[in-house]
Structure 1
Amino acid sequence: MRRRTPAESPSKLSDVARLAGVSLSTVSNVLNHPTRVAASTRTRVEAAISELGFTPNRNARALVVGTTDSIGLVVFDLKNSLFVDIARGAQRRARGRGYSLQVGSSDSDVEQQAEHLRFFDAAQVSGLILAPMHDAPESVDRLRSHGRPVVIVNHDPAEANVCRVLVDNEQAGFLAVRHLIECGARRLGIVAGRRDLQPVELRVEGAHRAARESAVPVEVVEYPVDGLEPEYGDRMGSRLAALDRDERPDAVLAVTDMLAMTIISRLTAQGIRVPDDIRVMGCDHNTAAWGGAIPLSSVSLRGEALGEHAVDLLLDEIDDPAGHVHETITIGPSLHIRESTVGRPTATPPA
């Protein structure tokens, strides 16, 4: 059978099956679940597809089986590079396994998050990855009742029969403060925006644990702010700069890099030297903070690894829903030390 020309009617699934000498279900498995088909049979079917120029009708498939070859990802806020990294890792892994990734950002809005989930459900994606800051049990239950697996990333829901991929946020806060103490901090300020958000609360808990376990006495002062947006860091920087020297912390941990960066900007504008007068530490390893006048020390939450593991768990459940067992994967953070806590390296004079 020769390849059809564009002027002729397109090939059908039955044409592929006839040419390859297999059943329709075998062709469907090659297209949708290739690991279920023997290599020799898969090769024969793929050769028939190539010879006929067959293109699967994804819309028709969605109507028949109730899913597409797409998966959805809904993140808390794409202004935060952690969620950009999660999306990047998820997209790379999904593409490698034959799926496309559709991304939505809730922009820190719970209702917008729910709208994205409803849209992806109506679009008949094969499954969903959700990177929220709050529990969303009703949305998760609805998706699962429609046969769409869900994986939760960077948030440990109180009650949800789903896979989870977590970063150890408590350890992230611990690593950050232990580094500041090792640098000589004795009066530590924690800029803790949005303590109602689980990852933020865990980072603050880890910061306090590091102070408690320190071999030297450390005073910890929390400076609450109303949000995680840069404007709150700017306000806190002004507040810290206005303090008398004996009231001012000698080191500050901000629960996100964006807060830390704007604190540094405001402090330096007010004549406060970083890190000579105040060491400043971030926590989420935002790529925007790596350069600039004062590169920021931070803790990486390894967002790309979070996204990759989430796709693996999701597709494992999609491929074998009956045999799938839910897992929780926890990824450890890593410390990255830069000038905002240790200063600029002294140049070695020429010999």
Structure 2
Amino acid sequence: MQDVADAAGVSLGTVSNVLNHPAKVSPATAERVREAISRLGFVRNDAARSLVSGSTKSVGMVLADIENSLFIDMAHGAQEAARAAGQHLLLANTACDMKLQDDYLDLFDESRVTGVLLAPMEDSTVGIARIRSHGRQVVLLNYAPRPGTCCSVLVNNEHVGYLAARHLIDTGRTRLAFVVAHDDYQPVRDRRRGVRAAVEEAGGGVTLEEIDSVGLTASHGHAVGRDLARRTSRDVPDGLIVVTDELANAIIHELHTVAGIRVPERVAVVGCENNRAAGAAAVPLTAVDMPGRMMGQEAIRLLMDEVSAGKRHRHATVVLEPELIVRASAPL
């Protein structure tokens, strides 16, 4: 900055104002400073600035799985809200790897971001406590924190499972199966409770089988679909609730396209995310919509509220409600 000041024939403070408060500088002087910046190839050292201020104008966002469009929607919403708040959004993808998640939390902490949005699949209390102890605020998305840990934005995942199962029951399906894996993931456990609650509410005329898909990727869904196709006709459920849309689309492919077990005529299928591929599948998927974009927006709002409130802040939890989107795989 001193080199720029010397080249432009102005004070160091004038260069700082051009970079940070341009309205304070006359147009002619500002143009002279910008020309010197361009000629010298000056790039502001944001790391040095953060050492002085204690933070950058950036928010770190750590996502469990960037291939899942729910997390992409969260990022879009957070980016919109961050930009409106004068912040930049930095993204990191952990691929559900807790070691990688801790590495990214430490990286954002060392970078002195304004705060961190964290969307994990497992308990992250230790990592959250570590960076909060350094004065870095954290907001959790789609995972309920331990009481008093941090702010959070949740979807009512129990209601997600309930809506999916209730829809199948209301359309006359009586032999249901819930395809699920990773009960160690909090959202999965919550959806299971909702499915069971809907079946229990329906009474003895509705049965529920729970099928362990082992994992949550398309390959696991194809394996479940092939297993179902090998069953006798009377042993195939007439309604499937599937914990993720990726699993659901793969199961539909194996049943409907490969084995000729018609969806929804013989088997109706409901997913639990409404991801971007749901409406584009061979049989468009009925799914419970997770408001990811709104989650990201609310998370930024909570983060900026905490930053501005300082010691007066009290942690808050925002719970958003899901919505059933009806398509061809389980029509009304």
Q: TM-score, normalised by structure 1?
A: 0.84
1:121 maps to: 109
Deviations 1:203-238, CA, capped at 9 Å, x for gaps: 111011011112672100000121111111000000
1:81 maps to: 69
* Contact residue 154 and residue 199 of structure 1 kept, 8 A: yes
* Contact residue 73 and residue 103 of structure 1 kept, 8 A: yes
Contiguous gaps of at least 5 residues in structure 2:
35-43
1:324 maps to: 313
Q: What secondary structure does 1:181 align onto?
A: helix
* Contact residue 137 and residue 159 of structure 1 kept, 8 A: no
2:127 maps to: 139
1:68 maps to: 56
Q: 1:125 to 1:178 in 2, by over 3 A?
A: same
**Alpha-carbon distance in structure 1 between the residues aligned to 2:113 and 2:240:** 43
* Contact residue 234 and residue 265 of structure 1 kept, 8 A: yes
Q: 1:178 to 1:94 in 2, by over 3 A?
A: same
Does residue 183 (structure 1) correspond to residue 171 (structure 2)? The answer is yes
Deviation at 1:186, TM superposition (A): 0.2
2:161 maps to: 173
Q: 1:6 to 1:272 in 2, by over 3 A?
A: farther
**Alpha-carbon distance in structure 1 between the residues aligned to 2:326 and 2:274:** 11
Which stretch of structure 1 is more off in the superposition, 96-105 or 317-326?
317-326
Q: 1:132 to 1:16 in 2, by over 3 A?
A: closer
User: Cα RMSD (Å) of the superposition?
Assistant: 2.3
Q: 1:303 to 1:49 in 2, by over 3 A?
A: farther
Deviation at 1:245, TM superposition (A): 1.0
Deviation at 1:161, TM superposition (A): 2.0
Deviations 1:251-280, CA, capped at 9 Å, x for gaps: 101000000000001112111110011001
Does residue 271 (structure 1) correspond to residue 263 (structure 2)? The answer is no
Query: Identity of aligned pairs, percent?
Result: 39
Does residue 207 (structure 1) correspond to residue 199 (structure 2)? The answer is no
Does residue 304 (structure 1) correspond to residue 293 (structure 2)? The answer is yes
1:348 maps to: none
Deviation at 1:79, TM superposition (A): 1.0
**Alpha-carbon distance in structure 2 between the residues aligned to 1:201 and 1:281:** 17
* Contact residue 16 and residue 48 of structure 1 kept, 8 A: no
Q: What secondary structure does 1:243 align onto?
A: coil
Q: What secondary structure does 1:299 align onto?
A: strand
Deviation at 1:59, TM superposition (A): 3.0
Which stretch of structure 1 is more off in the superposition, 167-176 or 152-161?
152-161
Q: 1:62 to 1:229 in 2, by over 3 A?
A: same
Amino acid at match of 1:285: N
Contiguous gaps of at least 5 residues in structure 1:
20-26, 32-44, 344-351
Q: 1:16 to 1:61 in 2, by over 3 A?
A: closer
Deviation at 1:10, TM superposition (A): 7.3
* Contact residue 253 and residue 282 of structure 2 kept, 8 A: no
Amino acid at match of 1:185: R
**Alpha-carbon distance in structure 2 between the residues aligned to 1:310 and 1:304:** 10
**Alpha-carbon distance in structure 2 between the residues aligned to 1:12 and 1:64:** 16
Q: TM-score, normalised by structure 2?
A: 0.89
1:38 maps to: none
Deviation at 1:183, TM superposition (A): 1.2
* Contact residue 14 and residue 25 of structure 2 kept, 8 A: no
* Aligned 1:141-156 pairs, distance under 5 A: 141-156=129-144
Does residue 287 (structure 1) correspond to residue 281 (structure 2)? The answer is no
